[in-house]
Amino acid sequence: MNQRSSNLLDEALGLDQTIEPWPLRGRAVVIEDRVETSGSFVLHHLLKRSLSPNSSNVSIFIAFAQPFSHYDRILRKLGCNLVLQRDNSRFFFFDMLMLQCPGGHEGITPEGGLIALYGKIHKTILALPEVSRKNVSIIIDDLSLMEVAVNGSSDYVLDFLHYCRTLTSEFDCSLITLNHEDIYSSADRPTFLLQMEYLADILIKAEPLATGLATDVHGQLTVLSKSMNYGQESSRNNTSNFHFKVKENIVECFYPGSRG
């Protein structure tokens, strides 16, 4: 990896050192954003990283938010060809834009759709060759739409995520999800959000600046990396905080005030 493409975000996620073995292996990454500041660029960045040519990672992308063409164009500008990766069986795209589970009250459980989805993911992973089965990322964009797809029964979504979490222990997959923090901020008990944050090994928050948006600072990222169970500083969580600017081909990260 050349010097330029490593940045604060990669450092915070431990992606700057090695790409093989995949540093996020077996971990759950939760990205939270707001109406003012979209966090989807973190997803794109992670997707690009996991599909980087010197690794053998496989990504399973579950899209509730955008069609394939959208991601394809973005990733192409980031220097990653999704069509090619799809042909190479390193990228699996599940278009869930139209997925709508029937209402939960009448007989058919809304779980049906999600269970089927889980089955598909499981089958996809099992069908992979032994080597790449160890380096799978499951990426979900985004959870709030998944909730809508099951008509608001967030318990089913949580169940689904716990199933996926078992995959991370069974196959050492990584699970990367995007959700919107401000949806839950008004609730008394934001159960869903708290559950997600509990589930997460790495929590990434994208927030607008308190002073509003500017053309050269698009917002700030807070990366909270919970301790892995080994190493010296295991008792402490690692938090890093920096500003970012999203460009077509790269995300620039920098410490507050470090740019003139």
Q: What 8-state DSSP symbol labels residue 180?
A: E
Our finding on whether 74 is near other proteins (CB under 8 A) is yes
Our finding on whether 81 is near other proteins (CB under 8 A) is yes
3-state helix, strand, coil split of the chain in percent (to 5) is 35, 20, 40
From candidates 6, 18, 20, 70, binder to other proteins by CB under 8 A:
70
CB of 158 to other proteins, least distance (A): 16
From candidates 50, 135, 137, 144, binder to other proteins by CB under 8 A:
144
Written in H, E and C, the secondary structure of 104-145 is: CCCCCCCHHHHHHHHHHHHHHHHHCCCCHHHCEEEEEECHHH
Our finding on whether 73 is near other proteins (CB under 8 A) is yes
Our finding on whether 228 is near other proteins (CB under 8 A) is no
Our finding on whether 154 is near other proteins (CB under 8 A) is no
CB of 212 to other proteins, least distance (A): 8
Q: Can you read off the two tokens belonging to residue 78?
A: 């980031």
Total binding residues for other proteins by CB under 8 A?
Answer: 41
Strands, sheet with 202-207, edge to edge from the N-terminal-most edge strand? 91-95, 58-63, 136-141, 174-180, 28-33, 202-207, 219-225, 238-246, 251-254
Residue placing its CB nearer to other proteins in the complex, 22 or 71: 71
Contact criterion met (CB below 8 Å) for 57 and 85: no
CB of 78 to other proteins, least distance (A): 8
Q: Which of residues 231-260 bind other proteins (CB under 8 A)?
A: 246-248
